[in-house]
Amino acid sequence: MATVSRALRLAATGDADAGAMLEITDLSKRYGSVVALDGASFTVAPGRLVGFLGPNGAGKTTTMRCVFGLARPDRGTIAWQGRPIERAQRLRFGYMPEQRGLYPRMKVGDQLSYFAQQHGLPAKAAKAATARWLDGLGLGDRAGAKLEALSHGNQQRVQLGAALVHDPVLLVLDEPFSGLDPLGIATMSDILRERAAAGVAVVFSSHQLDLVEDLCEDVVIINRGRIVVADAIDDLRAASTRRHLEVEVAGNANAWLAGRPDLAVVEQRGDFARLLVPADLDLAAVLATASAAGEVRRFAFQPPTLSELFMEVVRT
C-alpha cells in the first residue's frame, strides 16, 4: 500500500507552493457513536486536480463540509496558505455540495449574481461575471429564466456556475459527475481541467474511478475516516508490486498456461488471458513459453488500474 504522500513531499520541498495550498491536518469528527473522520490529513496544491475517493460513508462529504465551516471538526486543523481558514478566505473558495440546491423560483442570472455578491464581488463585477459564466456554460440565453424552468442538465450547469462565478482559488466539488449524461461529463471535465490549468486548486469526490484516472493527476483515498492513499496516480500505479499481463496466442486456447502454473489467471476467454503477476516477473521467459505455443498476437504488461488499486486499498 502506497502511503508516501507526494503532496507531503511537495510541502517539504517547494516552499513557495506549500504556502498556497489547502492543508488538512489530523481532522477528526464523530457524530454520536459514529466516527466520520479519524485523523485525516492531506493537501491540495494550486493547479492540481485531485480526486477524492472512498467508499460511501468514508468521510468525504464531512471533510468537505469542514472546509466550508458547515461541520466543525472535533480535532484537527484546516489551513489555506498556512493560516487557519476563516470566513474571509472561505469567500474565495467555491463549493458544490453533493445535495444540489439553488433557489427554484429565482431567475438564473439573478441567482448567480447573488452568489457572486455573497462571495464578496461588488454588484457590477458580479453581473459581469454572471454573464461571462452563463455564456461559458452555454446558458447565455437563459439568464432571465427561472431555475425550475430549466432541464435537469442545465440546472446542474447553473449549480456549477454558482461554485465558479466568483473565480475561486480553491474549488471543492462533492460528486460533480453524478447524474450527468456523457455530454455533461465532458463539459464538466473540460471546465475542471481548465480551472486547474488556470492555477486553481481543485478537489472533487467521485465513484467513477475511470473518469478520475483520466482526469486527475493526484488522488486521495479515504477509508473509515482515515486517509489511506495520497499520491500522484502515476506514482501510485508504478509503486504497485503487481502488474497485469494480457496475452493472446493464436489458436492455442490458452493451453500454453499449463506450462506456467505459477501465474494467477484473472480472466480467460478464447485465446485471450489476463493474468495478475508480480512486478519483477521475468517477462522474457513468459514470452518465450507463449511464443513456443503459437503466434503471440498480444502481450501487454501494465500496472493495475486506479479502480483495482482502490479495491485493494479499501478492502484491507
Partner 1 sequence: MSRRRAIWLVARRELLERGRSRAFLFSLILSVAIIFAGVFLPTLIGNAAEAQHLGIVGSPPAGLVENVRSSAKIAGLTVTIEPVSDVATGDAELLGGSLSAVLVVPPDGSLPSYVVKGRSNPLLQQVVAASFTQPPQITLRQLEPPDPNRDVSFVFANVGVILLFISIFTFGTWVLTGVVEEKQSRVVEVVLSTIEPRDLLIGKVLGIGVLGLVQLVVMVSVGLGAGVATNRFSLPSTTGSAIAMLFVWFILGYAFYSTALGVLGALASRMEEASNASSPISFLAMGGYFFALFVALNDPSGTAARIASFIPPVAPMVVPLRAALGAIEPWEMAGSALVMCAAIWALFVVGGRVYSGAVLQTGARMRLRDAWRAAGRNG
Closer CB to partner 1, 87 or 315, in the complex: 87
Decide: residue 112, CB within 10 A, 0-12 exposed, 13-18 middle, 19+ buried.
buried
Site for partner 1 in 134-173 (CB under 8 A): 162
93 binds partner 1 (CB under 8 A): yes
Question: Of 84, 120, 251, 278, which one interacts with partner 1 (CB under 8 A)?
Answer: 120
77 binds partner 1 (CB under 8 A): no
Closer CB to partner 1, 68 or 299, in the complex: 68
80 binds partner 1 (CB under 8 A): no
Q: Which amino acid is at 184?
A: G
Question: Of 1, 4, 12, 91, which one interacts with partner 1 (CB under 8 A)?
Answer: 91
C-alpha cell at 113: 449574481
Question: Of 104, 179, 259, 270, which one interacts with partner 1 (CB under 8 A)?
Answer: 104
33 binds partner 1 (CB under 8 A): no
Whole-number Å distance between alpha carbons of 287 and 289: 5
87 binds partner 1 (CB under 8 A): yes
Q: Among the residues of 93-181, which ranges form H helices?
A: 108-118, 123-136, 152-164
Question: Of 102, 160, 191, 201, which one interacts with partner 1 (CB under 8 A)?
Answer: 102
Whole-number Å distance between alpha carbons of 42 and 315: 21
CB-CB contact of 73 with 28 (8 Å): yes
The three-point CA angle 156-158-160 to 5° equals 70
Query: Residue 190, CB half-sphere, CA atoms under 13 Å: how many?
Result: 9
CB-CB contact of 130 with 116 (8 Å): yes
71 binds partner 1 (CB under 8 A): yes
42 binds partner 1 (CB under 8 A): no
CB of 159 to partner 1, least distance (A): 8
Site for partner 1 in 256-275 (CB under 8 A): none
Give kind and range of the element (H or E) at residue 223. Answer: strand 218-223
CB of 172 to partner 1, least distance (A): 9
Spatial CA neighbour of 25 closest among 107, 83, 101, 69: 83
Whole-number Å distance between alpha carbons of 182 and 203: 21
DSSP label of 147:
G
Question: Of 69, 140, 199, 259, which one interacts with partner 1 (CB under 8 A)?
Answer: 69
Closer CB to partner 1, 202 or 228, in the complex: 202
| Binding residues for partner 1 (CB under 8 A) | 31, 68-72, 74, 87-88, 90-91, 93, 95, 97, 99-106, 110, 114-115, 117-120, 162
